Chain A
Amino acid sequence: MSEQVSTMASALPAAAFLVPFAAGAIVLSSRRLPSWFWQGVSVLASAVTLAAGVWMALATVQGIVLTGWGNELRVDALSALLVVVIGGVGFLACVYSLRYVLPGLRARVGAEAAQRRLPVFYGLLLWFIATMVWGCVTNNLIMLFVAVEATTLASGLLVAFYWDRRALEAGYKYLMLLTIGITFALLGCVLIYAQAAATGELGGGQALHISQVRRVAHLFPARTALLTVALLVIGFGTKAGIAPFHPWLPDAHAEAPTPISVLLSGVMIKMAVYALARTTSVFFPSWPQLTVFAVALGSFTMVLGIVVAFTQDDLKRLLAYSSVSQIGYVVAGVGLGTYLGCYGGLFHLVNHAVAKGLLFMCAGAVVYATGARRMSDLGGLASRMPVTSACFVVGALTIAGLPPLSGFMSKLTIYLALARAGLWWAVAIAVLASLLTLAVLVRAASAVFWGAPRAAVATLEAREVPLAMWGPMLILAGVSLLLGLYPRVVFPLVDGAARVLALIGR
């Protein structure tokens, strides 16, 4: 870590999460206004978050660290990267929701109740984005925990939003399991704080600041450090969907309204990985043996997720299990702790956010057009929904890691990093899981878009979805292609973020 970082006080870190938070409060308190008002405020506020993220990213790639509220908020390249991803996917999910949410809600609860519940959707959606950004910009250990738990609370009612049997069950499991899991992370954070304070090197409230704790972590007793890491892995790992703490994930990601699935699978689990990396990476320089554990955990997650995905008939559940598998790549890469591993892991984090957001949007488009989600009910949609099917293929090939798409670049980097660390077994597992991913997603694509149309569902009358839905899909597909052909576009930012995390061998 270079010690000569220049810090600069800035209002951007606070604005990035206070704007969507305030906008959410406005939407929730103005429920009598027409729906274009809530939707406009949502799109605008998420655009502001994206803009703040890009702005911060431009500053951090020049080696500047932005701080706010004393040292309570702190944005380095890693935080900026996450804010850009959250803002970008959040903005597109808001645009996508403009045409998606109301029809589905009307069909379930009737026109009048739908109109009443729509502002709740947008208000909570904005709070969900705000809490995720807050977690990524805070420099306070306990507030990091509070923010991660706040994302659960903001999204809990969104998961159960349709309020039918499946959604309620998913919502109950989601709130209960994540709250219990995250409590372990609280204990882990408190232990880090207690140990940092006990070293006597940090005065005042500095032991709460993650950037300060890093400097004294080598003084922690070894066994206490291991216990702390275990608690953090259980806590933030539950939130990130790392196996074996993943059972809530397919339920929640599949039952939530599609724009929320996009955010859950696309960015929320990444934000939990960020929290895990941020907190555990303080230990890596002193205890390099932790990295093998992280890689093993990641490999296990990769295989388990994709094997279960094979057995799914429900398109959204299949995608959710694939997310479990892909988060394994991110954990294996970042957990390796080397520069190359962190670069690959973080690059894959970006690519997966883009591609899985895209795939969930395509699945949502299929549901919007046909009302069906089970692959055995669907078929032959390619000619009727050309944009959706093309976007789905792009997303699937990105996730599977085929050139020239962006997933290829990041997965290749992770393979190389694992090989360089001498973990050949992990390379073999990662490649195998990628081949399985290709098989699962190609099979899904062919069943939904090319197989023979089934009579049971009205696939014959299906039409392409409106512009507000295929627009965001096309943008994400374009980003996926762009990052595959010109990875240099994001190189400075991902490079800066990897430098923040990678402390071994540098």
Chain B
Amino acid sequence: MNAQGFPASLVETLSMLMVLTSVATLEIRRLRMSAIAYSLQALLLVALLLSFAALNPALYGWAAVALLTKAIIIPWFLFRYIGSREAQEEKPLIGFGPSVVVAVLLMVGFYRLTHSQFGLLVPTALAHQEVLRTNLAVASTVFALGLYCVLTRRDAVKTVIGLCLLENGVHLSLVSLAPELPETALFGVATEVVVTVYLLLYVIAGIRREFGTTDTLRLRELRW
């Protein structure tokens, strides 16, 4: 890997936009708009992978997999489920203000962590490349925001969108952690995300019919 002709500033801009779209996906309460923000983020992921492909041509394959599964199929599932309804998310447990603070703290924290401790995670020559450290910080932030979304949002559909965010973070982190990963393995991982989202939305459709709501706090048939 050499940095010759590598569009570093492009990567930085795209990374920043990745985090912004994650926060938007997390915070927008109209489910349609949130799904649109997620789709934008998936496209950014593909763009990022393409720009990293200047360093490592194997990533063109990854970008293709991400485009197909994360930017086309999953948004299609989400929009098909949400439909044309003016669906508003159930009120989240933690509101807008604190969530933005959490997002900023996560970003700063991961940035510092990956720049001081990168060798801990990736004990290879990659550890010396600034751009991959930043990438790992962004990936971890997106992952953590996804987890935060699943934990604090009450709406089942929103938790699925959070799960997608989390998986996007994982996908992006692999660029820094294991860029030589064979495509078959990556394809297996990406396919499972698609199937998971499909099954979850299928079950949630059943929940909506039986419970009349997708508020996870009202799912309380099973305790202890």
Contacts and interface: CB of A to CB of B under 8 A. Distances in A.
Contacts of B167: 183
A190 B219 contact: no
A485 interface: no
Interface stretch (A80-88, A157-165, A355-363): A157-165
A106 interface: no
Interface in A194-253: 194-195, 197-198, 205, 208, 220-221, 223-224, 227, 250-251
A186 B170 CA distance: 9
B185 A308 contact: no
Contact of B120 (A186, A221, A308): A221
A142 B120 contact: no
A142 B189 contact: yes
B120 A153 contact: no
A153 B121 contact: no
A335 interface: no
A500 interface: no
Contact of B185 (A140, A170, A191, A194): A140
B38 to A, nearest CB: 17
A142 B173 contact: no
Contacts of A221: 119-120, 123
A251 B222 contact: yes
B199 A227 contact: no
A175 B123 contact: no
A175 B199 contact: yes
A171 interface: yes
A149 B174 CA distance: 18
Contacts of A317: 224
Given A153-B196, A169-B219, A251-B222, A190 B181 contact: yes
Contacts of B189: 142, 145-146, 186
Interface in B127-172: 147, 150, 156, 159-160, 163, 166-167, 170
B210 interface: yes
Contact of A172 (B121, B156, B181): B156
A160 B206 contact: yes
B206 A194 contact: no
Nearest to A311: B224
A198 B123 contact: yes
A209 to B, nearest CB: 12
Interface in B195-219: 195-196, 199-200, 202-204, 206-207, 210-211, 216, 219
B221 A153 contact: no
A133 B120 CA distance: 34
A400 to B, nearest CB: 22
A187 B170 contact: yes
Contact of A142 (B159, B181, B224): B181
A166 B221 contact: yes
A170 B173 CA distance: 31
Contacts of B195: 153
Contact of B203 (A143, A160, A195, A312): A160
Interface in A240-297: 250-251, 254-255
Interface in B82-139: 119-124
B147 A180 contact: yes
A113 interface: no
A370 interface: no
A183 B168 CA distance: 11
A175 B181 contact: no
Contacts of A183: 166-167, 170
A187 B136 CA distance: 13
A172 B163 CA distance: 13
A243 to B, nearest CB: 14
Contacts of A484: none
Contacts of A169: 207, 219, 221-222
Contacts of A35: none
A326 to B, nearest CB: 19
Nearest to A313: B224
Contacts of B5: none
A164 B221 CA distance: 11
A339 interface: no
B163 A190 contact: no
Given A168-B206, A180-B163, A311-B224, 19 more contacts: A146-B189, A146-B192, A153-B192, A164-B210, A168-B210, A169-B221, A169-B222, A172-B204, A172-B216, A179-B163, A183-B166, A186-B170, A194-B123, A194-B178, A208-B185, A221-B119, A251-B222, A254-B222, A308-B224
16 contacts: A140-B185, A146-B188, A146-B192, A149-B192, A168-B206, A170-B222, A179-B196, A183-B166, A193-B181, A194-B122, A197-B180, A208-B182, A221-B120, A223-B120, A254-B222, A255-B222
A-B interface, 8 closest residue pairs, ranked by CB to CB distance from nearest: A142-B185, A146-B188, A198-B124, A169-B219, A166-B221, A251-B222, A194-B178, A171-B203
